[in-house]
Structures are given as structure tokens and as C-alpha cells.
């Protein structure tokens, strides 16, 4: 996790999984959250996690924070994508229109 954009830490839940993994995801999942039409942040996670717990992820650019749960199984998340909270750039202010010079405008 050498990505400088994200601060990532795993919090150990100190317990082993009690449910079998979902066989549809033998190589983990790519977690997608939020509105796909808006800017997104994406972070790779260390996969699989040691056991039950969660990832704390913070984007150092937009400040968005998410928590991603783990179970220490093959169906654990291997990445997380979530909406970016960087505000869009403000539009340039409109320049005032110049009044045409003429006999009535001086």
C-alpha cells in the first residue's frame, strides 16, 4: 500500500470467520460504492485480510473516509472505489459586456 493518495490501515477484529466464503468470488471482490457518474477515488487493498476486521481508508486529496469490512476469506475486498469529495472547479466569472458607443450612450 505505497499509494501516497490514501492513508490505509487495517483494524484486527481478533476473530476468525464463521461462515463459508461466497464461491462466486474466489479471487476477491472490487467494492464499488456511490454514484458512478461522479468523480471517484480507488484504492487497492492488501488481499486477503488476516481474519475478521476492517480497513480504514482516507483519501488525502478529498478527505473522504470509508470503512471496508473483511473476513479473512477468498471473497474479501481487494479494492475499494468510492465517490471523491473534491469540489468541482468554479466557473470563470463572466466579464461584463461593454456598452456600444453611439449617440445615445455618449
pLDDT tens digits for 2-50?
468 899 999 999 999 999 999 999 999 999 988 888 888 899 999 989 9
**What is the spatial distance between Cα 54 and Cα 3, in angstroms, rounded to a whole number?**
19
Residue 74 lies in a domain: yes
Q: Could you tell me which of 85, 5, 3 has the C-alpha nearest to residue 39? A: 85
Total domains, the chain? 1
Residue 73 lies in a domain: yes
State if pTM tops 0.75.
no
Residue 70 lies in a domain: yes
Residue 105 lies in a domain: no
Residue 41 lies in a domain: yes
pLDDT tens digits, 76-93: 999 999 988 877 677 777
Residue 59 lies in a domain: yes
Residue of 25 and 96 predicted with greater confidence = 25
Q: Could you tell me which of 6, 8, 7, 21 has the C-alpha nearest to residue 52? A: 21
Residue 30 domain boundaries: 6-16+26-83
Q: Please, are residues 83 and 34 in contact by the beta-carbon 8 Å criterion? A: yes
Residue 1 lies in a domain: no
Amino acid at each position: 500500500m505505497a499509494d501516497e493518495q490514501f492513508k490505509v490501515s487495517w483494524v484486527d477484529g481478533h476473530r476468525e470467520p464463521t461462515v463459508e466464503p461466497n464461491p462466486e468470488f474466489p479471487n476477491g471482490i472490487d467494492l464499488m460504492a456511490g454514484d458512478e457518474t461522479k468523480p471517484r477515488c480507488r484504492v487497492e487493498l492488501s488481499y486477503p485480510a488476516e481474519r475478521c476486521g476492517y480497513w480504514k481508508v482516507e483519501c488525502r486529496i478529498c478527505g473522504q473516509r470509508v470503512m471496508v469490512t473483511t473476513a479473512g476469506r477468498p471473497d474479501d475486498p481487494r479494492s475499494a472505489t468510492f465517490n471523491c469529495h473534491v469540489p468541482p472547479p468554479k466557473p470563470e466569472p463572466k466579464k461584463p459586456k461593454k456598452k456600444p458607443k453611439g449617440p445615445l450612450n455618449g
